[in-house]
């Protein structure tokens, strides 16, 4: 596995006169392998944007090491910047220029042929609105311009911070398809997003950050498996047999939760459940593994699941090993 | 080089740049038109007309004088001179002298190119400096506030190179505009002098002097451009430069003037920026301390003087510009782009 992005022990503390010290990154680690679509998740204020901005030379880190495409950054960022396309946070462009002007000025500044401008405008679906001023664009259209600007230099690594922000459902699907096709062409994509369903669908691996530290990382399936209390839903032909079944499974060493019309059996193989019940003359009508999704893992790991009657504050997340 | 050309292109494409350029041309054009309309060549007919007007004024004033003397005599005879504010000796009332009514005062305004063009060079530089300050401040300030600078730094992660290239582009634009409009300005006033005024006394030395005045003017414009650019970049917003300009105007031109006069500081003008601008254009500017003028029966009253030379101005402007530029570069290098 060749890593195109490596971050080790990255730290950053903001110091302001008004708010004092605020630690945004506290020894954060991340690795993104070449050719994968990597999801970068974290609650608001967890340090995602600080990480991306630090990686791209916009913010000076207090400590740690970073490498982009094998080169140490920020020391040799200028050498690899031409191979990295990025958008950070919400798209911001000079409102009185058209998308075409904006992109052609960037192309000129980066020695990219202007013919590429038309190609990326076509790619993000802005061909027919390219000559309109950006101030007339919706948030989703500005987002498309941002993605177009990142794609302009045919990057090897594409870093996108909330690319689906403001997009309509069709736009989100287009963006997903675009990511997939870029990844299929060999581009590595680092995708920061809050749309966890999207991340789960298109990402090969993820890193989850909370309060400036990595709380989970790895292939999506592994993260789901490692952080889910896997259980199996069991129904019987006769609901009256459920107490007997619960007793039998408990007696055989299983952890059982009884519910009115089914049982939940924790962390056991379905075959063991079937055999245990059949040995006692109980026959299963439904045996379904309860799957967890990325959203529930994310909420669990970051401690940001909503609680009825409570208004969670932005920085109320968890750190590794305990609650903040 | 590609970044420099892109920034030049960006500068030219900006709406504010175009708007200010049009305003600048209209403003300068209005001055030229006003000068053309008010300047008239003094031919023999105009001189004859002026002589008639001067004589008529003289005779009118003589008439008033005679009436006043007659009232004085009448008051003297009635013994009411004191009550009416009249002198007791009516011969003390001085009659108007014919030389007070010089023909030159009655001639229409005639632009003397040699005499007046240096003033118009300063006017041109002042207007151009205002326009350049606004354009330069907005060029970088709007980039910061709109996120354009962040985008650019993602493409070119060399902060000082990006900032200095932007400054280079705006200085180039201002210099090119200044040279082009300055040449047109010179031609326009030369034409006014040629057809509606006078070009008397023009020698190669005078042209050289004009060129030096113009160079000093453009130098000041470029310094002002740099300061506007630097302040907007320091504050990461155009408003920072505009606010600073207002603050300097209020503090230097009004606040310091009042404070120094209250405290009784000699030569308060030496603490005020506009004195240095005047010295820069006039080669020197002499301040007089009228408070120091004690009557001397032998030598009369000789107040103390303080002379600001254009070299002093050069030091003040260069130091101020360098200070702002260094602060701008330091913060560009050190501050996070959040």
Q: How many residues does chain A have?
A: 324
User: Residues of A16-27 as b/e, b for ≥16 C-beta within 10 angstroms?
Assistant: eeeeeeeebbbe
Predicted confidence at residue A324, as pLDDT, reads 38
Q: Does B3 touch chain A (CB under 8 A)?
A: yes
Say if A303 falls within a structural domain. no
Phi, psi of A35 (to 5 degrees): 85, -5
Cβ–Cβ < 8 Å for A101, B6:
no
Q: Does B160 touch chain A (CB under 8 A)?
A: no
Say if A165 falls within a structural domain. yes
**Does the beta-carbon distance from B150 to A58 stay under 8 Å?**
yes
CA-wise closest residue to A133 among A102, A104, A95: A95
CA-wise closest residue to A62 among A106, A32, A21: A21
Judging contacts by C-beta atoms under 8 Å, the chain A residues touching residue B2 are 108-111
Judging contacts by C-beta atoms under 8 Å, the chain B residues touching residue A110 are 2, 155-156
**Does the beta-carbon distance from A58 to B5 stay under 8 Å?**
no
Top residue of B19, B151, B161, B168 to mutate, by most chain A CBs within 10 Å, is B151
**Does the beta-carbon distance from B157 to A78 stay under 8 Å?**
yes
**Does the beta-carbon distance from B146 to A91 stay under 8 Å?**
no
Dihedral of the alpha carbons of A134, A138, A142, A148, in degrees to the nearest 10: -100
Phi, psi of B99 (to 5 degrees): -70, -15
pLDDT in tens, B269-322: 888 888 999 999 999 999 888 777 766 666 667 788 899 999 999 999 999 999
Q: Does B336 touch chain A (CB under 8 A)?
A: yes
Q: Does B334 touch chain A (CB under 8 A)?
A: yes
Cβ–Cβ < 8 Å for A129, A141:
yes
Say if A322 falls within a structural domain. no
First-to-last CA distance in chain A?
35
Q: Which residues of chain A have pLDDT under 70?
A: 1, 90-91, 227-230, 267-268, 304-324
Place of tokens 């002026």: B50
Place of tokens 């305003």: B23
Does A87 lie in the same domain as A19?
yes
- Report the CATH number at residue A43: 3.40.50.300
The first and second tokens of residue B275, run together, are: 């004195």
Q: Does B175 touch chain A (CB under 8 A)?
A: no
Predicted confidence at residue A323, as pLDDT, reads 40
**Does the beta-carbon distance from A109 to B156 stay under 8 Å?**
yes
Say if A130 falls within a structural domain. yes
Nearest chain A residue to B158, by CA: A78
CA-wise closest residue to B115 among B197, B181, B204, B217: B197
Top residue of B13, B155, B166 to mutate, by most chain A CBs within 10 Å, is B155
Q: Does B1 touch chain A (CB under 8 A)?
A: no
Does A63 lie in the same domain as A155?
yes
**Does the beta-carbon distance from A58 to B142 stay under 8 Å?**
no
Nearest to A108 among B6, B142, B336 (CB): B6
The first and second tokens of residue B108, run together, are: 């229409």
Does A30 lie in the same domain as A95?
yes
Top residue of A15, A58, A98 to mutate, by most chain B CBs within 10 Å, is A58
**Does the beta-carbon distance from B336 to A60 stay under 8 Å?**
yes
Judging contacts by C-beta atoms under 8 Å, the chain A residues touching residue B150 are 58, 88, 92
Nearest chain B residue to A113, by CA: B2
**Does the beta-carbon distance from A81 to B152 stay under 8 Å?**
no
Judging contacts by C-beta atoms under 8 Å, the chain B residues touching residue A101 are 13
State the Cα–Cα distance between residues A254 and A234, nearest whole angstrom.
Answer: 13
Helix (H) or strand (E) holding B189: helix B159-196
Q: Does B158 touch chain A (CB under 8 A)?
A: yes
Predicted confidence at residue B33, as pLDDT, reads 96
CA distances from A280 to A40, A216, A237, A249, A263 (A): 48, 42, 14, 10, 16
Domain boundary among A204, A225, A246: A225
Predicted confidence at residue B254, as pLDDT, reads 84
Q: Does B168 touch chain A (CB under 8 A)?
A: no
**What is the domain range of residue A129?**
3-225
Does A236 lie in the same domain as A197?
no
Dihedral of the alpha carbons of B204, B208, B211, B213, in degrees to the nearest 10: -130
User: Residues of B309-334 as b/e, b for ≥16 C-beta within 10 angstroms?
Assistant: bbebbbebbeebbeebbeebbebbee
State the Cα–Cα distance between residues B306 and A89, nearest whole angstrom.
Answer: 58
Does A239 lie in the same domain as A196?
no
Residues 6+ apart with CB under 8 A from B178: B128, B132, B218, B221
**Does the beta-carbon distance from B150 to A88 stay under 8 Å?**
yes
Q: Mind telling me how many Å the CA of B126 is from chain A's nearest CA?
A: 29
Helices (H), A124-210: 139-151, 169-184, 196-202
Say if A58 falls within a structural domain. yes
Say if A301 falls within a structural domain. no
Does A139 lie in the same domain as A24?
yes
**Does the beta-carbon distance from A59 to B337 stay under 8 Å?**
yes
Does A118 lie in the same domain as A25?
yes
Judging contacts by C-beta atoms under 8 Å, the chain A residues touching residue B147 are 91-93
Domain boundary among A225, A245, A277: A225
Q: Which residues of chain B have pLDDT under 50?
A: none
- Report the CATH number at residue A243: 3.30.70.100
Does A240 lie in the same domain as A161?
no
Does A271 lie in the same domain as A205?
no
Residues 6+ apart with CB under 8 A from A51: A7, A10, A25, A28, A30, A40, A209
**Does the beta-carbon distance from B15 to A96 stay under 8 Å?**
yes
State the Cα–Cα distance between residues B171 and B224, nearest whole angstrom.
Answer: 10
Say if A110 falls within a structural domain. yes
State the Cα–Cα distance between residues A56 and B122, nearest whole angstrom.
Answer: 47
CA-wise closest residue to B179 among B124, B111, B123: B124
Top residue of B19, B154, B156, B331 to mutate, by most chain A CBs within 10 Å, is B154
Q: Mind telling me how many Å the CA of A93 is from chain B's nearest CA?
A: 6
CA distances from A3 to A49, A84, A203, A208, A214 (A): 21, 14, 16, 18, 17
Output helix, strand, coil percentages for chain A, rounded to the nearest 5: 35, 30, 35
Predicted confidence at residue A307, as pLDDT, reads 60
Place of tokens 């006692």: A280
Phi, psi of B44 (to 5 degrees): -60, -40
Q: Mind telling me how many Å the CA of A305 is from chain B's nearest CA?
A: 28
**Does the beta-carbon distance from B157 to A77 stay under 8 Å?**
yes
Judging contacts by C-beta atoms under 8 Å, the chain A residues touching residue B337 are 53, 58-59
State the Cα–Cα distance between residues A280 and A272, nearest whole angstrom.
Answer: 13
**Does the beta-carbon distance from A96 to B338 stay under 8 Å?**
no
Domain boundary among A173, A201, A225: A225
Output helix, strand, coil percentages for chain B, rounded to the nearest 5: 75, 5, 20
Does A156 lie in the same domain as A245?
no
Residues of B (89-148) whose Cβ lies below 8 Å from A: 142-143, 146-148
**Does the beta-carbon distance from B337 to A106 stay under 8 Å?**
no
Q: Does B154 touch chain A (CB under 8 A)?
A: yes
Residues 6+ apart with CB under 8 A from B222: B132, B171, B174, B175
SS3 label, residue B176: helix
Cβ–Cβ < 8 Å for A89, A49:
yes
Q: Mind telling me how many Å the CA of B271 is from chain A's nearest CA?
A: 33
Predicted confidence at residue B312, as pLDDT, reads 95
Place of tokens 């962040």: B150
Residues 6+ apart with CB under 8 A from A303: A210, A316, A317, A318, A323, A324
Say if A183 falls within a structural domain. yes
Computed on alpha carbons and rounded to an integer, the radius of gyration of chain B in Å comes to 28
Overall number of domains in chain A: 2
Residues 6+ apart with CB under 8 A from B94: none
Does A76 lie in the same domain as A215?
yes
Predicted confidence at residue A320, as pLDDT, reads 46
> In terms of DSSP bridges, do strands B284-289 and B304-309 run parallel, antiparallel, or are they unpaired?
antiparallel
Does A278 lie in the same domain as A195?
no
* DSSP 8-state code for residue A111: T
State the Cα–Cα distance between residues A324 and A68, nearest whole angstrom.
Answer: 32
């Amino acid at each position: 596995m060749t890593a195109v992005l490596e971050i080790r022990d990255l730290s950053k503390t903001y110091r302001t006169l008004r708010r004092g010290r605020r630690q945004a990154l506290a020894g954060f680690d991340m690795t993104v392998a070449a050719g994968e679509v990597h999801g970068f998740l974290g609650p608001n204020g967890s340090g995602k944007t600080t990480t991306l901005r630090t990686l791209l030379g916009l913010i000076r880190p207090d400590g740690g090491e970073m490498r982009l495409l094998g080169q140490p950054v920020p020391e040799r960022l200028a050498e690899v910047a031409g191979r990295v396309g990025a958008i950070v946070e919400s798209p911001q462009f000079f409102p009185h220029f058209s998308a075409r002007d904006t992109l052609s000025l960037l192309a000129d500044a980066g020695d990219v042929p202007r013919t590429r401008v038309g190609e990326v405008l076509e790619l993000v679906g802005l061909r027919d609105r390219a000559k309109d001023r950006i101030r007339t664009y919706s948030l989703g259209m500005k987002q498309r311009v941002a993605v177009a600007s990142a794609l302009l230099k045919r990057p090897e690594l594409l870093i996108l911070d909330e690319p689906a922000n403001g997009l309509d459902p069709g736009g989100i699907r287009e963006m997903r398809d675009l990511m997939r096709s870029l990844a299929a062409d060999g581009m590595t994509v680092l995708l920061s997003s809050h749309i966890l369903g999207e991340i789960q669908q298109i990402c090969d691996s993820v890193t989850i950050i909370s309060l400036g530290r990595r709380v989970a990382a790895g292939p999506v399936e592994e993260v789901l498996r490692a952080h889910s209390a896997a259980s199996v839903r069991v129904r019987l032909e006769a609901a009256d047999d459920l107490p007997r079944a619960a007793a039998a499974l408990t007696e055989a060493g299983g952890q059982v939760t009884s519910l009115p019309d089914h049982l939940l059996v924790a962390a056991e193989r379905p075959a063991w459940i079937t055999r245990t019940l059949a040995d006692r003359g109980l026959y299963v009508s439904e045996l379904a593994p309860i799957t967890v999704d990325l959203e529930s893992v994310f909420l669990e790991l970051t401690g940001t699941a909503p609680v009825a009657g409570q208004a969670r504050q932005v920085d109320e997340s968890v750190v590794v090993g305990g609650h903040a | 080089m590609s970044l420099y050309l892109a920034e030049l292109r960006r500068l030219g494409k900006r709406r504010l740049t175009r708007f200010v350029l049009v305003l600048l041309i209209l403003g300068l054009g209005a001055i030229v038109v006003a000068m053309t309309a008010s300047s008239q060549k003094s031919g023999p007919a105009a001189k004859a007309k002026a002589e008639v007007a001067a004589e008529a004024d003289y005779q009118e004033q003589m008439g008033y004088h005679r009436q006043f003397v007659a009232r004085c005599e009448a008051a003297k005879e009635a013994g009411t001179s004191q009550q009416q504010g009249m002198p007791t000796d009516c011969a003390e009332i001085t009659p108007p002298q014919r030389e007070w009514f010089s023909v030159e005062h009655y001639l229409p305004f005639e632009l003397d190119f040699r005499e007046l063009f240096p003033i118009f060079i300063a006017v041109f530089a002042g207007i151009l400096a205002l326009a350049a300050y606004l354009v330069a401040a907005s060029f970088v300030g709007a980039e910061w506030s709109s996120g354009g600078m962040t985008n650019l730094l993602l493409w070119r992660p060399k902060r000082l190179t990006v900032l200095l290239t932007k400054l280079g582009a705006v200085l180039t634009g201002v210099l090119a505009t200044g040279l082009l409009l300055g040449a047109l300005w010179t031609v326009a006033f030369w034409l006014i002098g040629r057809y509606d005024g006078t070009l008397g006394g023009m020698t190669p030395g005078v042209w050289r002097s004009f060129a030096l005045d113009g160079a000093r003017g453009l130098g000041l414009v470029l310094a002002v451009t740099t300061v506007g650019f630097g302040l907007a970049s320091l504050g990461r917003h155009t408003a920072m430069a505009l606010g600073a300009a207002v603050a300097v105007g209020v503090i230097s031109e009004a606040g310091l003037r009042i404070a120094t006069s209250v405290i009784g500081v000699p030569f308060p003008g030496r603490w005020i920026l506009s004195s240095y601008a005047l010295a820069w254009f006039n080669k020197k500017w002499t301040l007089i301390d009228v408070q120091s003028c004690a009557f001397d029966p032998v030598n009369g009253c000789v107040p103390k003087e303080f002379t600001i030379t254009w070299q002093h101005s050069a030091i003040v402007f260069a130091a101020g510009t360098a200070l702002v530029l260094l602060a701008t570069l330091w913060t560009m290098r050190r501050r996070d782009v959040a």
